[in-house]
Structure 1
Amino acid sequence: MRGQRLRRSDCSGPGLRRVRRGRGFGYREEDGQSVQDPEVLERLRGLAVPPAWRDVWICADPWGHLQATGIDAAGRKQYLYHPRWRERKDREKFERMVRFARRLPRLRRRLATELQGTEPTRDRVLACAVRLLDVGLFRVGGEQYAEEDHGVGLATIRKDHVSFRGDAIVFDYPAKGGVRRVQSIEDPLSRELVRSLRRRRRGGSQLLAYREGRSWVPVRSDDINDFLGREAGEGFTAKDFRTWNATVLAAASLAAGGREAATPAARRRAINQAVRVVATTLGNTPAVARRAYIDPRVLDRYLSGWTIAGALDGVKEIQPADDRGRARLERAVLDLLADERSSPALVRE
């Protein structure tokens, strides 16, 4: 039924309810009657709503865009969408990512100009934050994120999470889920401002703060995203950096490490390895990295034999703060996504 259209569903309206029954679950209609229809039961079980969810609501319409909601073990409301809806949203996300990538060169020039200042003004500190998102692949985080997840993002990193080792800025902090994360970044553009913010004696424990008169104002996650949206346009946010950088890293890993993969099985192994590299860099699981951050076109092109190996010729390693080297790599990835097979950066293995 590929032609069937999705319909908007509302979890505040009528729906089915999941109830505990022995070691498993049963389902009730809005009027309290048990669901008995075998086809309906098969659909409900096929949704694979996590057993730990409570207060589960399920859409009675199999073509509702939102299929189920529930409260997870941490007390957060979670949502399960129709696969067709997720496919559409993923396409939109990755097309948005391409538009974001095309604006990056101009944005980086703007950040470099702003960071040449000497005072910790609002725009200079926010430019530093966006620069760190670009080269460090941080989550932006926020106060609620820190409270709910026991993790720290860029907006809530403290001064004592930061140290310096030679030319490198070292961030050592509890990331998502409270898991310790250590990142070392060599970036001349942001280093001196980060050093100055780390050394300041006033303005609280938070690293990112700006001077306003005689006071220090802590940076919030909304400030960072608002600045990024203003400078890059289209309301782009910190997550667009992670999606784009994950896609570029996957393409580079496949081009560098997957050249010898001559069989379909070897190519699948190379993809799994590239996904693990991305997951480690992002601080995610491989499943999340592949599902949410890597544009599937990169993997599809690789399975068809195409990589960005031409952009890596003569290059040993491209550092995150090497804007010129990254731009070369990123242009190649844009060509790969557009299937521009005449591009000298693309090679068929």
Structure 2
Amino acid sequence: MARLRRVDCAAPGIARRRRGRGFEYRDEHGERIADPEVVARIQALAIPPAWKDVWVCAYPMGHIQATGTDAAGRKQYRYHDQWRQRRDAEKFDEMIGFARSLPRLRKRVARDLGGDDLGDQRVLACATRLLDRGFFRVGSEGYAADNDTYGLATIRKQHVTISGDTMVFDYAAKGKKRRVQRLSDPEVVGIVDSLKRRRSGGDELLAYKRGRRWVDVKSADVNAYLKDATGGDFSAKNFRTWNATVLAALALAASGPAATGSKTARKRAQKRAVDEVSRYLGNTPAVCRASYIDPRVFDRFDGGLTIGGVFPDLVEGEGGWPEIQPEIEQGVLDLIHEDEESGRLEKVA
């Protein structure tokens, strides 16, 4: 198999030019490309017609195959399939390290939440707890300013309503999709309520007190807190990948033995699982399956293995989801590593 080569998208490449209702492609010397194999490779990249300043790699095995500027002025990339597969494998391996660090992180968060101030550590612990339990994107200051779309770090005070221990976040997320997320957490609701009620410091919900002034929480602050608390090079994105994988594993286990009875039944069960993850994350099912759910969960399901072994021991008491979450998460780790000696797994075929 031909090997990938790293390329620099600032180097000479193939340019796209409008021609009639379609496009033509020119090499670095300005010569029109007529080779049908090269044209077919470019067309297979499915570069959006709206992209401007399109650059296409001259090498079929370049790790970046194309770049362009979208309608919002952002630089976009098309990567080689092999490069994406390699990066995805690395991403999910990193996710395992993140999952193993969660007990340490949650212990730190619980300690920092126990304060009585609104300093940086307590507010960042609050943000981390919300990421852990709320399926939020962390958000980008640029997206909030340019597109009026929000994530946890950029949510405004008016996006939150509180009733008892329940918080409702109602806001426009990435892609201007409305997101309504409900969380009940007595340890953070008081912090969120205080931040919502403050009269100074701007419209952003998350801010901490430094001396006599308020400082807005940035996504970089949240990521720095995560790295400090875990000792690993993790970010808020790891929460969404891990939570999506756990949700998918739960949904597949709940589908029961009948779902593995035939190839059609397995596909149907997997589609239901992905659809459920999509509802929680706010992404399309295709994006959830391709980018957020560890594919090993589906591989194990195809082999007749689920985390169904955790179900008999899960009696949800007063502690609710946080009480049973660690056992389920350990079951998912056992599943990914195919630890068939684990009592948390169930053979269903």
The equivalent of 1:106 in structure 2 is: 104
Contact 2:316 2:323 in 1 (8 A): no
Deviations along 1:139-173, one digit per CA (max 9) or x if unpaired, are 11121021344311111111111111232111111
The equivalent of 2:255 in structure 1 is: 257
Relative to structure 1, the CA distance from residue 73 to residue 25 in structure 2 (aligned partners, 3 Å threshold; closer, same or farther) is same
The equivalent of 2:143 in structure 1 is: 145
- The AA in structure 2 aligned to 1:69 is T
**What displacement does 1:52 show?**
2.0
The equivalent of 2:293 in structure 1 is: 294
The equivalent of 1:273 in structure 2 is: 272
Find 1:51's aligned residue among 49, 63, 84.
49
Find 1:127's aligned residue among 117, 125, 131.
125
Are 2:61 and 1:74 aligned? no
**What displacement does 1:179 show?**
1.8
Deviations along 1:71-116, one digit per CA (max 9) or x if unpaired, are 1122211000111100110000000000000000111011001101
- The AA in structure 2 aligned to 1:45 is Q
- The AA in structure 2 aligned to 1:50 is P
The equivalent of 2:174 in structure 1 is: 176
Distance, in Å, in 1 between the alignment partners of 2:203 and 2:149 is: 16
Distance, in Å, in 2 between the alignment partners of 1:316 and 1:273 is: 24
The equivalent of 1:157 in structure 2 is: 155
**What displacement does 1:201 show?**
2.0
Distance, in Å, in 2 between the alignment partners of 1:281 and 1:180 is: 12
The equivalent of 1:305 in structure 2 is: 304
Distance, in Å, in 1 between the alignment partners of 2:141 and 2:38 is: 42
TM-score, normalised by the number of residues in structure 2: 0.96
5 Å-filtered alignment, 1:25-40, equals: 25-40=23-38
Distance, in Å, in 1 between the alignment partners of 2:164 and 2:119 is: 26
- Give the fraction of aligned pairs with identical amino acids, expressed as a percent: 55
Deviations along 1:297-335, one digit per CA (max 9) or x if unpaired, are 001111111110111225477999733311000000000
Are 2:196 and 1:198 aligned? yes
Contact 2:316 2:324 in 1 (8 A): no
Contact 2:119 2:209 in 1 (8 A): yes
Distance, in Å, in 1 between the alignment partners of 2:45 and 2:151 is: 32
Distance, in Å, in 1 between the alignment partners of 2:317 and 2:46 is: 42
**What displacement does 1:188 show?**
2.0
- The AA in structure 1 aligned to 2:87 is K
Distance, in Å, in 2 between the alignment partners of 1:313 and 1:8 is: 50
Relative to structure 1, the CA distance from residue 222 to residue 320 in structure 2 (aligned partners, 3 Å threshold; closer, same or farther) is farther
Q: Indicate the larger mover: 213-222 or 309-318.
A: 309-318
**What displacement does 1:269 show?**
0.9
- The AA in structure 1 aligned to 2:30 is G
Contact 1:258 1:267 in 2 (8 A): no
For 1:313, what is the secondary structure of its paired residue?
helix
Unaligned runs of 5+ in 2: none
Are 2:313 and 1:346 aligned? no
Are 2:245 and 1:247 aligned? yes
For 2:338, what is the secondary structure of its paired residue?
coil
Unaligned runs of 5+ in 1: none
For 2:180, what is the secondary structure of its paired residue?
strand
Deviations along 1:197-235, one digit per CA (max 9) or x if unpaired, are 122222222111111111111111111111111111222
Contact 2:6 2:63 in 1 (8 A): yes
Contact 1:72 1:78 in 2 (8 A): yes
Relative to structure 1, the CA distance from residue 9 to residue 165 in structure 2 (aligned partners, 3 Å threshold; closer, same or farther) is same
Distance, in Å, in 2 between the alignment partners of 1:280 and 1:274 is: 10
Distance, in Å, in 1 between the alignment partners of 2:318 and 2:31 is: 61
Contact 1:136 1:320 in 2 (8 A): no
Contact 1:9 1:64 in 2 (8 A): yes
TM-score, normalised by the number of residues in structure 1: 0.96
The equivalent of 2:211 in structure 1 is: 213
Distance, in Å, in 1 between the alignment partners of 2:316 and 2:45 is: 44
Contact 1:150 1:176 in 2 (8 A): no
Contact 1:187 1:321 in 2 (8 A): no
Distance, in Å, in 1 between the alignment partners of 2:126 and 2:162 is: 16
**What displacement does 1:5 show?**
1.5
Q: Indicate the larger mover: 141-150 or 281-290.
A: 141-150
